[in-house]
Amino acid sequence: MNRTEKTAQIADVKGKFDKAISVALLDFQGLTVETVTALRREFRKAKIEYRVLKNTVIRHALKDSPYKSLVGDLNPERKNAPKAHVAVRGMTGVAWSYEDPSAPIKVVDAFKAQQADKAAKLKVKTGMVGGQLLAGDELGRMPGLKDTQAMILGMLQAPGSELYQAIMAPAIHIVLTLDAWVEKQKQADG
């Protein structure tokens, strides 16, 4: 791969990081090709983009981003230079989610439960959301897109519902009082 192709690949990966709602960096070392293929299939079903990338490509793509703490020093000749974060060492698979922040971790957890022994070595190195690095379990606990939309809708509807109840309460109280008075009159007459 020549320099132009590498630059284009870095720009493409940077665009994916910028566009994604959340990203999970995975360590898939020790998995068979069949298991990794099955994992890719599960990611595709969940509309998550997954690629295996060289760590230097990831580091170059993130050097001017909120995740620059992963990068370290990109000049390999400097001695005692800050090293890259452990998340960008070893074999790295990147799962980009464009819709649901917790989706990559949920897919990994479900896959590990389904595949048991075959996927035991699959690990989440780190998760990334909104410029912050998160542990994989933290990313997995985030509410999904549908849950977040439901919470926002509930918060938007709450003031209107409370206002309706406040307006209707006196009228309901009057109706109940009149109803009780009518019942009392019936009992007195009867």
> Residue 141: pLDDT band by 50, 70, 90 thresholds?
low
CA–CA separation, 25 and 139 (whole Å)? 11
Expressed as residue numbers, the domain containing 149 is 143-190
b (16+ CB within 10 A) / e for 136-152: beebbebeeeeeeeeee
Highest mean pLDDT among 36-45, 105-114, 145-154: 36-45
CA–CA separation, 163 and 134 (whole Å)? 40
Same domain, 173 and 188: yes
Note whether 139 and 24 are within 8 A (CB).
yes
Q: Is the pLDDT of residue 81 over 60?
A: no
Same domain, 74 and 84: yes
Q: Is the pLDDT of residue 190 over 80?
A: no
Same domain, 123 and 173: no
Same domain, 110 and 71: yes
Same domain, 149 and 161: yes
Same domain, 156 and 64: no
Tell me how many domains the chain contains.
Answer: 2
CA–CA separation, 6 and 44 (whole Å)? 25
Average pLDDT over residues 144-153: 68
Mean pLDDT for the chain overall:
82
Same domain, 10 and 51: yes
Q: Is the pLDDT of residue 79 over 70?
A: no
Q: Domain end: 126, 142, 158, which one? A: 142
Predicted TM-score (pTM) of the model is 0.69
Same domain, 30 and 55: yes
Q: Which of 1-5, 72-76, 90-94, 168-172 has the lowest mean pLDDT?
A: 72-76
pLDDT tens digits, residue range 10-49? 899 899 988 988 888 999 888 899 999 999 999 999 999 9
Same domain, 27 and 70: yes
> Residue 72: pLDDT band by 50, 70, 90 thresholds?
low
Average pLDDT over residues 130-142: 68
Note whether 139 and 102 are within 8 A (CB).
yes
As a whole-number percent, the residues of the chain with pLDDT over 90 amount to: 17
Same domain, 52 and 33: yes
